Amino acid sequence: MTQTNHLSTIPISRPTAIRENYIEAVAEALVPDVVNWLGNRNGCEDTVKGCLIEAMKRCGSWGGFEIAREMEKIGGYDPDIYLAEILHYAEAHFISAYDADLERWIIRENIQPAYGVGDEVWVYHLKNQYEGKIIKIFPKRGRYCVNIPELGHVMPPMSGINGIIVDYEQVFDGFVYGNLTVSDSVKLVNHENIKIMTQLSETG
């Protein structure tokens, strides 16, 4: 029988969007367009990929101009606005690669939402807790959209910000007492119908 996980019954850690872990995937996605930009000028895919990886490691950002400048230093390329535009999509490739990992994790662990649309919940957000209502679920990403009046959210179809997008593990069915900060690997346990975050450090 397949076990269903709600991130409230067993410790499960969500994949982390660490930039360095996705540099190679981003480089692979960019290679075809960079090779096409190069034309007949040193367009070996392996050479381009290696240069992209090193450039992204050095510049520490997904900025197209920043990556292009590092490629110039490393590989002697002569960057222009067209190359910078190609490299501008590095961040989009990063998000796509991470989302794919996240979707595979959700399928592998059979992660299901513990709450439904319309449920009143508490949300842990920016080191604070807020009361709100779930207005949408994103099952492929393991996230809710929660409407929080205290943050100025309005309910659809009213014009304005309808809510914030939060991970399943940021949502509880009761206020969690104490000053809490979330660690890199949030884990949840179910205790007397109140979700309590574990692997937290209490401050104060």
What are the residue boundaries of the structural domains of the chain, listed by start?
Answer: 19-105, 120-202
Q: DSSP state, 14? A: P
**Residues in Cβ contact with 178 at an 8 Å cutoff, skipping those fewer than 6 apart:** 202
pLDDT at site 178: 53
Q: Do the Cβ atoms of 29 and 94 come closer than 8 Å?
A: no
Cα 183 from Cα 170, distance rounded (Å): 12
Kindly indicate the confidence band of residue 9, based on its pLDDT and cuts at 50, 70 and 90: very low
pLDDT at site 98: 95
Asked if the model's pLDDT at residue 179 lies above 80, the reply is no
Asked if the model's pLDDT at residue 157 lies above 60, the reply is yes
Angle, alpha carbons 155-159-164 (nearest 5°): 55
Cα 204 from Cα 138, distance rounded (Å): 35
Per-residue tokens: 128: 């604070």
Largest CA distance in the chain: 67
Cα 57 from Cα 73, distance rounded (Å): 13
Asked if the model's pLDDT at residue 168 lies above 70, the reply is yes
Question: Percent of the chain at pLDDT above 70?
Answer: 78
